[in-house]
Structure 1
Amino acid sequence: MARPSILNLLERKFILLLGDLFIVITSLNYFVIEAIDPQFISLKLKVVVISFGIISFLALSYILDLYNLQRTLKRKYVVSQAIYITALFVLTVFIFSLIVFDASFYIKHLLLFLILTPLEIALWRLFFVNVFRIIPTTKNVLFIYDNEDQSEVRRVINLIDGDEEETFYKVKLTYNINQLIGAKQNFLKATEKIDAWIINVENYNELPSDIEKVMLMSILKGREVISFTSFYENTYEALPIQSHNDSFYEILQLRNRKIRYLQTIFGFGINLTLALVLGVVFLLCLPFVWSFNLLFNRGPLFYTQKRVGLHGKEFKIYKFRSMVVDAEKTGAKMAAKNDARITPFGRILRAFRIDELPQIISVIKGDMQFIGPRPERKVFVNQLNSRVPFYNARHLIRPGITGWAQVKYKYGENLDDSVKKLEYDLYYIKNRSITLDLRIIFKTVTTVLFSRGV
């Protein structure tokens, strides 16, 4: 008998979120009714404080990665992570109420809110972890493929199993498409202990009709049946451009779409708002950077370079110079995280992302936007075009100061890293939305504040 249907990653996150929100809303209600002096309580205060509390909890949870199940399902992280994030949340709510409403508080109930809320969240999450240690959490996978290169097959299986991160999938059976012909009876028996099918073949029409019937039976029994491309996109939030079955149509799913008016308006609003904010920050930093550059980093203040932008056209990018003047005297070379060419003052600029501020000039000129693939130099674009399919697809939209690849992947130091980042760039181009843009903005804040990612 097959195992009962197993909750997928999204469903588990949703259950965890529901429990968190129940505790958060209950605690906020207690805070408003019991901890605040009744003479300050009004309908406006209740609505504003509870709404602010929910929004601040969700924002802190997202920025600080509270719903990363790879950590949440590990006991050594679950309590400590929940306590410090929830402690930040309750302190934020308390300070907000104090400043905005100038309220006074009953110390006993205030302390109960500040202390018990983090403990309740931690205990709920500990319970969640223990429950998922008892019930099945990993799906047994039947992997069907057509590749004769066994090293490539092994690489794909490692991606399904989670070579570097938890996927909650485990390949238990593998069949080459040629093995399926005439194997219906044994195949049918084998699929009884399978929770998911992952298919990685170039031509789905080659699947035997008998096997298609078994596949349909599995779907009717609640099993998951997906292509490897779909699995990779859902799990890694990237696109598998290095798969031997990479199809331009399957990966990007080219189709006519209506103009996304809300996305366009949102993008314009974000660019305008951040142009104003970062423009002011850039002007404020300019005299200080100029002064310190004169003392500790002699040479030009700005570094300019041609990059490839929208539709493959080159444009000039501006940065505060962080490397020695003759950094490329031996030829073009990608910057590395601990590059010896970076000056001591340049390291400070990079640590606080100050060197990126002059890119606001390219945004104002219309060559860049705030969210999009990072622009690359033509010499590297040419190398990558000859090596990677679809590389030019990243030039379908304007390049950005920050992007999905920047917040999801480490600092790019070579062409291999550029190939990996392309998977995230294409995912962004395919799934571009207001929600994804907001995720990138939040993750960029995390990157800057906590030195994650780039």
Structure 2
Amino acid sequence: MARRSILNSLERKFILLIGDLLIVLASLNFFVQDVIDVQFISVKLNVVVFSFGTLSFFALSYILDFYNLQRTLKRKYVVSQALYITALFVLTVFIFILILFDASFWIKYLLIFLLLTPIQVALWRLFFVNVFRIIPTTKNVLLIYDIDSQSEVKEVTNVIDGGDEETFYRVKLTYNINQHVPIRKNFIKATEKIDSWIINVKNYNDLPEDIEKMILRSILKGREVISYTSFYENTYEALPIQSHNDSFYEILQLRNKKIRYLQTIFGFSINFTLALIVGVVFLICTPFVWLFNLFLNRGPLFYTQKRVGLHGKEFKIYKFRSMVVDAEKAGAKMATKNDARITPFGKILRAFRIDELPQIISVVKGDMQFIGPRPERKVFVNQLNDRVPFYAARHLIRPGITGWAQVKYKYGENLDDSIKKLEYDLYYIKNRSITLDIRIVFKTVTTVLFSRGM
């Protein structure tokens, strides 16, 4: 039987990207050749238009999550999202070139550029959605496991199938190696329709010999064979710390690495640059926050608290106070989204992250950096250490003002949320890179501008 040709998420994104890029480049070429008055056209203008245009399109796409397949494959989002993001792109290009070159434009062709480009991208994406409704988009999975609890098996199956988030995987067949029996022909026949083997066992040496031979044959046929940890990491961009297969080495894949000089230089550069920017914003905002505090939030201007940082050492964190003065008279308690202890003015501070600005003091002191796991209080760290064997691993790097968990997961309101965020923190520690840091910066900007929960 011929194997179904199924594109994974990365391949689908690549096809979508190529289509967008062709439309963008064609539109930019039209902008240079037909929209701008010929007397202003030069080599410099061509280079600037194509360079700035391409970079601004992908920057906006990155910030506004234009390649999130969860939305892209839904018809109700695809057209509206394409129209407003591409419209923002063409306006950005037009205004930038107008300011930089003070050029003249042909109005008729300018309107075509401004209106037709968003429509072209929207139509291309609508076509993309409809095509993937016809051709196969979901991989049939054979789950190999050694879990005895049926509730745990169901939980793993649900993670692979996805809930609100489309994973493009569906468990069609399962096999428990703890209940191994000689492989029958009907089972072998059923595996012919399988596209991906996902293995969730503690010890790969426990795999039965006939299952190993079937896995080898599947690999030779070009089918996907991956561990559950790899599937989870690739799909959710997090690590499955509560997985049955909770081997420390499987989760973090510890190995010797060369010193990442570029990462170190980039980290220093971004901390230095943002320290200057945030420092200036902090100095500008402080008098206004103090003034409003007198009328709307009576009490101390700053709020200090001890948090756990690098290598488990405590340090003092600074914030603009957003809660009532005696917020913790009944004991330590995590803040919730609609916490009654937050004052009316405090809600405004939190909505636009103004309350976080004083943390620049901790960055300057060297206790924090801009990107990293959010520091937690010792009382909660102790509770989480008892519940999660890997929690202390998040203290391998300095805590940050923003991080992968903050931009990927909702506002943490309890210990369960903290455990979920740990999956993203460990993913960041394991996969830390310049590109991942840039993604976090872009997504943080979006969070602040649109007042999204962190």
Instruction: Give the TM interval when normalised to the shorter protein.
Output: over 0.9
Residue deviations 1:308-332 (CA, integer Å, cap 9, x gap): 0000000000000000000000000
Inter-partner Cα distance in structure 1 for 2:162 and 2:180: 26
Residue deviations 1:88-108 (CA, integer Å, cap 9, x gap): 000000001100010000111
Residue deviations 1:134-162 (CA, integer Å, cap 9, x gap): 10000000011101011011011000000
How many Å apart are 1:389 and its aligned residue? 1.2
How many Å apart are 1:3 and its aligned residue? 3.9
Match for 2:290: what amino acid?
W
Counterpart of 2:401 in structure 1 is 401
Inter-partner Cα distance in structure 2 for 1:181 and 1:311: 48
Inter-partner Cα distance in structure 2 for 1:94 and 1:129: 29
Match for 1:98: what amino acid?
L
1:416 counterpart SS class: helix
Please tell me whether residue 377 in structure 1 is matched to residue 377 in structure 2.
Answer: yes
Contact 1:60 1:85 in 2 (8 A): yes
How many Å apart are 1:184 and its aligned residue? 5.1
2:108 counterpart SS class: helix
Counterpart of 1:219 in structure 2 is 219
Match for 1:232: what amino acid?
Y
Inter-partner Cα distance in structure 1 for 2:116 and 2:180: 58
Counterpart of 1:323 in structure 2 is 323
Match for 1:427: what amino acid?
Y
Residue deviations 1:354-389 (CA, integer Å, cap 9, x gap): 100000000000000000000000000000000011
Match for 2:213: what amino acid?
K
Inter-partner Cα distance in structure 1 for 2:96 and 2:194: 51
What is the aligned length? Answer: 454
Match for 2:329: what amino acid?
K
Inter-partner Cα distance in structure 1 for 2:275 and 2:179: 59
Counterpart of 2:48 in structure 1 is 48
Percent identity for Structure 1 against Structure 2: 84
Residue deviations 1:182-229 (CA, integer Å, cap 9, x gap): 115343212100000011001111111221111111112121100000
Counterpart of 1:259 in structure 2 is 259
1:241 counterpart SS class: coil
Inter-partner Cα distance in structure 2 for 1:375 and 1:54: 37
Inter-partner Cα distance in structure 2 for 1:161 and 1:283: 49
Matches within 5 A, 1:125-136: 125-136=125-136
Inter-partner Cα distance in structure 1 for 2:134 and 2:166: 18
Inter-partner Cα distance in structure 1 for 2:402 and 2:246: 27
Residue deviations 1:47-73 (CA, integer Å, cap 9, x gap): 011110101100111111111111111
1:160 counterpart SS class: helix
Residue deviations 1:85-128 (CA, integer Å, cap 9, x gap): 00000000000110001000011111111111011101111111
Inter-partner Cα distance in structure 1 for 2:380 and 2:91: 48
Match for 2:5: what amino acid?
S
TM-score (norm 2): 0.99
How many Å apart are 1:423 and its aligned residue? 0.2
Match for 1:273: what amino acid?
T
Which ranges in structure 1 are unaligned for 5 or more consecutive residues? Answer: none
TM-score (norm 1): 0.99
Counterpart of 1:199 in structure 2 is 199
Inter-partner Cα distance in structure 1 for 2:163 and 2:80: 26
Counterpart of 1:104 in structure 2 is 104
Inter-partner Cα distance in structure 1 for 2:220 and 2:452: 43
Runs of 4+ in 1 over 4 A off after TM superposition: none
Inter-partner Cα distance in structure 1 for 2:4 and 2:154: 28
Counterpart of 2:66 in structure 1 is 66
Inter-partner Cα distance in structure 1 for 2:446 and 2:46: 30
1:193 counterpart SS class: coil
Contact 2:351 2:452 in 1 (8 A): no
Contact 2:183 2:210 in 1 (8 A): no
Residue deviations 1:300-352 (CA, integer Å, cap 9, x gap): 10000000000000000000000000000000000001100001111111111
